[in-house]
Amino acid sequence: MKILVVEDEAALCDALTEILKRNQYNVDSVDNGEDGLEYALTGLYDCIILDIMLPIMDGISVLKHLRKAKISTPVMLLTAKSDIDDKITGLDCGADDYLTKPFITGELLARVRALTRRTGEVNVDAFDFHGLTLNKQTYMLSYDSQSVKLSLKEYQIMEILIMNPNQIITKERFIEKIWGFESDVEYNNIEVYISFLRKKIQSINSKASIRTARGVGYYLEEKT
């Protein structure tokens, strides 16, 4: 689960990032609205935590641009206690929720869980592709009565593939989604994990196959 935090107050941004990472979220953070918009427009995120008062471009403007671009990622606005008008404006512009500063950790995490549930991604314990099942809790990949355990990175790659069947996923998207924009991970890292996954899929005799779109990326399809 990948979250974007857009907050210019350094201490708060660091605290949010740390809280989310401790709760197993993959987090990117930026400190101004312009960068926030650029990151959010990629569509890579499952939730965006967006402060209203930001340098360069304010949060409401960022939100308007996102909704105009048809980016439907759930957005939670961070607002000051007295900014009732900002809350109303934000909700009218397409925000899904707001959180008043200061806030407690439990409420933040509960609201994030509620927003991501609306995307339909955390309601299921497992993903399925023609009998190939990926369990979110155990990281087990199963077919019929056979199962194999995946590493964290193998699971993350497999999750992207199984959630986007028959769609080519570029190597760039894997890196951005799993390691983050600023990662120095190289393409051969992806190739190594894909090789591991292929062997594990074969070991459980699944009819699914990870195919290569040469020079572009990979996609999951059923063997004919």
CA distance 55 to 23: 28
Amino acid 147: pLDDT: 95
- Given a contact cutoff of 8 angstroms between Cβ atoms, the answer to whether 4 and 28 are in contact is yes
Mean of the per-residue pLDDT values for the chain? 88
Token digits for 163? 């959630």
Count Cβ neighbours within 10 Å for each residue of 56-84 and write b for 16 or more, e otherwise: ebbbbbbbbbbeeeebebbbbbbbeeebe
Q: What is the CA radius of gyration of the chain?
A: 19
Q: Which range, 136-140, 193-197, 211-215, has the best average confidence (pLDDT)?
A: 193-197
Q: Report pLDDT digits (tens) over 66-89.
A: 999 888 899 999 987 566 777 788
- Given a contact cutoff of 8 angstroms between Cβ atoms, the answer to whether 64 and 33 are in contact is no
Pairing verdict, β 26-30 and 2-6: parallel
Token digits for 119? 């995307």
CA distance 90 to 75: 10
Compare 96 and 122 and report the one with higher pLDDT: 96
Amino acid 123: pLDDT: 42
Q: Report pLDDT digits (tens) over 21-56.
A: 998 888 999 999 999 999 998 888 989 999 999 999
Point out the least confidently predicted range of 104-108, 162-166, 176-180. 176-180
Structural domains present in the chain: 2-117 (3.40.50.2300), 126-222 (1.10.10.10)
- Give pTM, 2 decimals: 0.58
Long-range pairs of 32-35 with CB within 8 A, sequence gap ≥ 24: 32/6, 32/8, 32/56, 32/57, 33/6, 33/57, 33/58, 33/59, 33/61, 33/62, 35/6
Mean pLDDT within 103-116: 89
Compare 86 and 182 and report the one with higher pLDDT: 86
Peptide bond between residue 74 and the one before it cis (omega within 30 degrees of 0): no
- Given a contact cutoff of 8 angstroms between Cβ atoms, the answer to whether 60 and 94 are in contact is no
